[in-house]
Structure 1
Amino acid sequence: MTNLETRNELNKEYKHVKYILTSEMRTKLLLTLYENSKNLEKLRNELKKPSATILHGLKELENINLVKKVQKYYELTSNGYLLTTNLIKLIENWNSINKSKMFWNNHDLSDIPEEMLKNIYLLKDATYVNSTTSDLSNAFNKYIELISDASKLRIILPIYSENHFEHIIGLLNENTLKSLELIISEEILHSIKNNATFNKSLLKNKKVTVRSIKKNIKIFLTYSDDFMSLTLFFKDGHYDDSQILIARDENALKWAFNLYSNI
């Protein structure tokens, strides 16, 4: 399919999506019926709308094969269930982005795989932390607090930072950190090799596994068994150490694992 054909197909499908989203009743009916089928009385009680309004919305959804009536109960068709699943993802993605809009608006997202961007909703419970003029190291200090109690870390490290390396080496030497996996660029690997201390403490440490990649990736991801953190680069190419996303929930850890695995 050519780009033009793809755009035409998307425009065609957008009309259907717009038809759903421009009606509060149609949208609410799909969301209400997502978990299980309901009769008119149940729908009226949940939606707090008159029967005539609900029946009109149901008829509209029946006409486009998203809802069907089985005896006295209304339920989603297979098409309706698939559409509503993605509708929920759209709402959750919007919510996740809106909660941390300063973070997402200010940064280069080009190195985050498209599939991961589609699943930003998994970060909906993440906390946005930024440095202030009165505390320029706030984000960095939060990061150090996070990693200080971890026994295992996996890190996509896109910068050569002596400050970060020294803290990590300290945790390795104290035996607090028992396992470290690093994904770094070949350029950063070369710089580490040229530093005798970092070469010995990181590259020759049996607790450290290093994988180098050719690309200078613009994602700083860290995750362990109970937290994940993400920092990014400004759109002008400079690394931003003043803003960080932190999360501890299962969904965020799943997102971090998938991102790490896809680099």
Structure 2
Amino acid sequence: MDSLSFVVGSAARREVLAALAPGPATRGEVLDAARSSKSSVYDALNKLEEHGLVHQRADDTWATTSAGQVLSDAITRCERTGDVLDSEAAYWEEHDATDIPERFRAEFHALEGYEVVRSPDTDPYRASRVVADTIASVGRVSVVAPVYHDRYADAMNQSPDADRRLVITPDVLEQLVEDAPDGPEGADHVESRVYAAEFAMVVSDDTLLLSLPTLDGSYDPHTEVVAETDAAIDWGERLFERIWERATDAERFVADRYGEAALDE
């Protein structure tokens, strides 16, 4: 049996490892922290020691080994991620997170404390209004847009002096080139790049907005994940930077696809 299965297969072993994760503790302190019976805790300590996950120190306190500490951290992250998903299970069951890079999916626990804003029949534009208001009201914003939305474009143009970066998909750029060969109004104030993203995201200094596609791949304008914690914003900023680094400058993309002459039109 591998170490992970060994630990998660026993409530007592999970409790003992969690009790020791913050630092060394006496046997009595471990007993106080655990909900399992005294005999179960003693048995867990012995078996965790046999598996090289904890050890008894010279002062008779117990502590994790490096293996035990890393494993405890991983279990804690999994539990926190489970809490994030369980708090709005319907949303996560109806949407596709495949396009979020694996390393960022592994950090979904950073979204703790989020809420899902939904657009009821009585207010069908509630979610999109939250997005537009956020874009328009902040001094620095980074946006990933898999679709074109007039409301969001107008919001980007409301603060021409703001620090704004925009990632659009090749399909959105093609639509813009066809509909407005001279570029959309206000585009000169926005630093734009092109990348084939399937999810939408807005990141400012104090807010993260995330919109995943539905299971059939469709854009969902009716719901928005909203998070305002430092951890969530940091997660969003790092995800945006990853996309930004891999995206192509919009003018370069237009020149490559439509020819240099397209830049002069």
TM bin (shorter chain): 0.7 to 0.9
Name the residue aligned to 1:209: 191
Could you tell which deviates more after superposition, 16-25 or 227-236?
16-25
Matches within 5 A, 1:15-34: 16-34=3-21
Measure how far apart 1:19 and its partner are: 2.1
**Does residue 37 of the first structure (1) align with residue 24 of the second (2)?**
yes
Counterpart-to-counterpart distance in 2, 1:241 and 1:135: 12
Deviations 1:184-216 (A, max 9, x none): 12231232234449825243x2x3100113x3x
1:149 to 111, 124, 137: 137
Structure 1 counterpart of 2:149: 161
Q: Deviation string for 1:172-191 (max 9, x for gaps)?
A: 35x5xx12101112231232
2:174 match? 190
Counting aligned pairs with the same residue, the percent is: 20
Match of 2:95 among 72, 87, 107: 107
**Alignment correspondent of 2:236:** 256
- Judge which range, 46-55 or 58-67, deviates more: 46-55
Task: Give deviations 1:53-103, integer Å, cap 9, x for gaps.
Answer: 321110010010001000310000010011011111111111111112222
1:60 to 30, 36, 47: 47
Report the Cα offset of residue 31 of structure 1: 0.7
Q: Which residue of 2 aligns with 1:70?
A: 57
Distance change (3 Å), C-alpha of 1:198 and 1:44? farther
Bigger mean CA deviation after superposition, 124-133 or 249-258: 124-133
CA contact (8 A) 1:38 1:74 kept: yes
Q: Which residue of 2 aligns with 1:5?
A: none
Amino acid of the residue matched to residue 249 of structure 1?
Answer: T
Alpha-carbon shift at residue 234 of structure 1 (Å): 1.3
- Give the alignment partner of residue 80 of structure 1, picking from 64, 68, 79: 68
Structure with the bigger RCO (C-alpha within 8 Å, sep 6+) is: 1
Aligned to 1:236: 216
User: Distance between the aligned counterparts of 1:53 and 1:114, measured in 2?
Assistant: 37
Cα distance in 1 for partners of 2:182, 2:121 equals: 32
- Deviation, structure 1 residue 110: 1.9
Contact 2:53 2:67 in 1 (8 A): yes
Q: How many residues get paired?
A: 242
2:89 is the alignment partner of 1:89: no
**2: CA distance, partners of 1:73 / 1:124:** 33
Aligned: 1:245 with 2:229: no
Cα gap change, 1:163 to 1:198, in 2 (>3 Å): farther
8 Å CA contact retained: 1:229, 1:247 = yes
Contact 1:192 1:198 in 2 (8 A): no
Please name the residue that 1:172 is paired with.
159
TM-score computed with the length of structure 1 as normaliser: 0.85
Letter matched to residue 166 of structure 2: L
Alignment counterpart, residue 224 of structure 1, candidates 204, 217, 221: 204
